[in-house]
Amino acid sequence: MAQLVTRVDDLLLATIDDLVRQGAAKTRSDAVRLGLEVFVERHRREQTACAIINGYLQHPQDDDELAGLDRATRALVDEEPW
């Protein structure tokens, strides 16, 4: 497993140590690993969102597609026993 070395300020280190003491992470390294995983996942999701938005901007839905969605939604609601 690769190792990363980084510097953090005293306040961040104290906060990480508090989180470790509270059981939010097993160790400092675990806390850093969890933070990096969240950072990477957030970036991946942002990239996916941008790709979806760009797709709709390049190929917007037309009135027929939107009408079909309305019909499908109404059919699903009508099937509910409420």
For the chain, give every domain's residue range. Answer: 10-79
The answer, yes or no, to whether residue 68 has pLDDT greater than 90, is no
**Contact call for residues 20 and 27 (beta carbons, < 8 A):** yes
pLDDT on residue 64: 84
Summarize pLDDT for 4-28 with one digit per residue, the tens: 999 999 999 999 999 999 999 999 9
Q: Taking all residues of the chain, what is their mean pLDDT, rounded to a whole number?
A: 94
Q: Which of 21, 20, 46, 44 is nearest to 33 (CA)?
A: 20
Give the pLDDT confidence score for residue 31 in this predicted structure.
97
| pTM for the full predicted model | 0.69
